[in-house]
Structure 1
Amino acid sequence: MDEKVFTVTELTEILKETISKKFPSLIKITGEITNWTLSSSGHIYFSLKDENSIIKSIIWRTTNIKKDFKDGDKVVATGYLTIYEKQGTYQIIITEMKISGIGELYEKFLKLKEKLEKEGLFDKERKKKLPEYPLSIGIITSETGSVIHDIENILKRRAPYLKKYLFPALVQGEGSEKSIINGLKYFNKKNNVDVIIIARGGGSFEDLFVFNDETLAREIAKSKIPVISAVGHETDFTICDFVSDLRAPTPSAAAEIVVKNIDDIFDFLSRSKKELKKELKNKIDQMKKDFLNLKKNFFISSLAPLNKKKEKIGFLLEEMENSVERKIKIIKNRKEYLKNEILKSSPMLKILEKAKFVGMIKNDLNNVIKTRFERIKKEAEILRSNLNNLNPKEILKRGYSITLTEDGQMVKSVKDLTIDTNINVMIYDGNIKANVKSIEEEKL
Structure 2
Amino acid sequence: MVNQMIASQFISLYDLCVLIRKVVGDNFPEYIWIVAEIANIKENQNGHCYLELVDKNEEKVIAQARATIWAYNYRSLSYKFEKATGETLKRGMKILFSAQVQYHEVYGLSLNIKDIDPTYSTGEMARKKRETVERLLRENLLELNKSLLLPLVPQRIAIISSPTAAGYGDFMTHLQENSYGYQFSLSLFQALMQGEEASFSIIAALQKIKKQIDLFDLVVIIRGGGSQIDLSCFDDYELSAEIARFPLPVVTGIGHERDDTVVDMVAHTKKKTPTAVADFLISGIRLFETQIEELQNSIIRYSDRLLENSRFSLQENLNNLNHALKNILSHTFSTYQLLAIRFCLASRKYFSDHQNRLSLILQKVNAVFRQKFQEAKNKHLLLEQFMYHFNPINLMKRGFSIARMNGNLLTSVKQAKSGQIITTQLLDGLILSKVEDKS
| Category of TM-score, reference length = shorter chain | 0.3 to 0.5
Normalised to the residue count of structure 1, the TM-score between the two structures is 0.47
Identify the structure with bigger relative contact order (alpha carbons < 8 Å, sequence gap 6+). 2
Q: Which has the larger radius of gyration?
A: 2
